[in-house]
Amino acid sequence: MNEKLETFRRDIAGKTVSVIGLGISNTPVIDFLLSSGATVVGRDKKTKEQLGALSDTLAEKGVALSLGENYLCDIREDIIFKAPGIRPDVPEIEEARKNGCAVTSEMEVFLALCPAQIFAVTGSDGKTTTTTLIYKMLSAQCEKEGSSSKVYVGGNIGKPLLPEIADITEQDFVVLELSSFQLQALKTGRDFRPWPDVACITNISPNHLNWHTDMDEYTDAKTQIFRFQARGGRLVLNFDNDITRSLSGEAPGHVTMFSSKGEPTPGKGCDAAIFEQNGEICFSADAGGNLREEPFPILRTSDIFLPGRHNVENYMTAIAAVRGYVDADTITEVAKTFGGVEHREEYVCTRNGVKYYNSSIDSSPTRTIAALNAFPEKLIIILGGADKGVPFDALCAPLAAHAKAVVLTGAARDKILAALNASAEFATSGVPVKVEPDFHAAIDAARDFALPGDTVILSPACTSFDAFPNFEVRGKAFKEHVLNF
């Protein structure tokens, strides 16, 4: 029995709870709260018409609704469950807090109640693939051993895990992808046990600066992933990233550094390393006195089915995380068969000799650069979406080198175009650029550039929120359109 869960249910029974943000993923959370005896008010900026059938479903369950522009007015509930994308310093929420309302989130409550071992991943790029790899490696090892332990995956991917908390035991594993929004919300000081058992930061580069006040706030949010660790916890950091490398001395527990540029040099707080040597991903541990044990190989990079240097780094991160939990043979089995996550360099089809790839999840310039580098051929690339406040200058040289043609769309199209026009390197490359505000027209324009043998990829370098509720819907729209060619 999960005693913390039983205590939570007793405490929340009879309380009023305001759930802010009524996306489909919050529906099971509302069901969980209702089943615990809470009275729920659902709040969302969307109107009843925009929510569609969901508003009727919630009303039938007894959920009172506050919708439209004034959805945050007059919050008088005992507890607020805030969606990650809503800033904690919104005036109406701050006022509710001053009036005695407790502000929390689905993830914060889950962490407070979760009895399982937790693996948590964050970073500006690569966190979805890394999270999925850890999940698959742990699952494969449990299956191989005939273990009764279950592996759950959630957070910023998949479904909310709080509604499943009653089924999760101390013998299980939970793998979480955590965004900066989710991590920043954990600064409210809720009394949860030390977590996670293993934390990973793939990298930190400018991102979501349209939401965070500045780069310092964004970085600080990312570091929350290890601030609550126990002394015996493990933190995995990217040695090749200046920001993450500098964090090793702040870790409460052990630090493993990974690098795709050779063995990381021993540093403050770093006691193990994952790196590439002679075509193999190797592990080396601290032998004391800044000396390393002889490295031993874990995985040949040639066994990794996914293309691209960035995926070698994703495997390094995952291997560092599961070290001691998963053996090398299992890691190799996963590497040889794992074809990647949906919407990340996902092969869609070949039409008239042209290959189409969906990488809608690429919501930052650095992810788009990684996608460009993953293919040996020059690409016809579709860029654009909602601007995150991140400069696009870094895209110019990679596009000059790796693009056959560029199609710009979405709200950020003019900003990207301005960056390309200001780049002498891109201007001299001769790469043609087409601007198509409409998303589907942009796909058609990319098709028109293509000849048999070419490759078209959707890799927006932007979020989807100018035209789509999330990158998944954008990716599915791309695939549907291409499949109808």
Task: Going residue by residue through the chain, which has 485 residues, state the pLDDT in tens, using 9 for 90 and above.
Answer: 899 999 999 999 999 999 999 977 788 999 999 999 999 999 999 999 999 999 999 999 999 999 999 999 999 999 999 988 888 889 999 999 999 999 999 999 999 999 999 999 999 989 999 999 999 999 999 999 999 999 999 998 888 999 999 999 999 999 999 999 999 988 654 566 789 999 999 999 988 888 888 999 999 999 999 999 999 999 999 999 999 999 999 999 999 999 998 888 766 668 899 999 999 999 998 755 455 667 889 999 999 998 888 899 999 999 999 999 999 999 999 999 998 888 988 999 999 999 999 999 999 998 899 899 989 899 999 999 998 888 999 999 999 999 999 999 999 999 999 999 999 999 999 999 999 999 999 999 999 999 999 999 999 999 999 999 899 999 999 999 999 99
Residue-level pLDDT at 96: 95
Judge whether 281 lies within some domain.
Answer: yes
Judge whether 243 lies within some domain.
Answer: yes
Judge whether 7 lies within some domain.
Answer: no
CATH number, position 140: 3.40.1190.10
Supply the pTM of this predicted model: 0.85
Q: How far apart are alpha carbons 359 and 81 in whole angstroms?
A: 32
Q: Which of 315, 337, 359 is the last residue in one of the domains?
A: 337
> Do 305 and 352 reside in the same domain of the chain?
no
For residue 372, the enclosing domain spans: 346-483
> Do 257 and 198 reside in the same domain of the chain?
yes
> Do 322 and 406 reside in the same domain of the chain?
no
Q: Which of 78, 104, 130 is the last residue in one of the domains?
A: 104
> Do 256 and 353 reside in the same domain of the chain?
no
Residue-level pLDDT at 270: 82
Judge whether 457 lies within some domain.
Answer: yes
> Do 120 and 224 reside in the same domain of the chain?
yes
Q: How far apart are alpha carbons 289 and 349 in whole angstroms?
A: 54
> Do 271 and 402 reside in the same domain of the chain?
no
Produce one character per residue of 214-237: b if its CB has 16 or more CB atoms within 10 Å, e if not. eeeebbbbbbbbbebbeeebbbbb
> Do 183 and 266 reside in the same domain of the chain?
yes
Q: Which of 104, 126, 158 is the last residue in one of the domains?
A: 104
Q: How far apart are alpha carbons 62 and 50 in whole angstroms?
A: 20
User: CA 272, 276, 277, 281: dihedral to nearest 10 degrees?
Assistant: 80
CATH number, position 351: 3.90.190.20
> Do 245 and 279 reside in the same domain of the chain?
yes
> Do 175 and 312 reside in the same domain of the chain?
yes
Judge whether 6 lies within some domain.
Answer: no
Residue-level pLDDT at 187: 63
> Do 200 and 320 reside in the same domain of the chain?
yes
Judge whether 214 lies within some domain.
Answer: yes
> Do 332 and 381 reside in the same domain of the chain?
no
> Do 205 and 264 reside in the same domain of the chain?
yes
Residue-level pLDDT at 341: 86
* Number of domains into which the chain is organized: 3
Residue-level pLDDT at 268: 60
Judge whether 4 lies within some domain.
Answer: no
CATH number, position 93: 3.40.50.720
Judge whether 445 lies within some domain.
Answer: yes
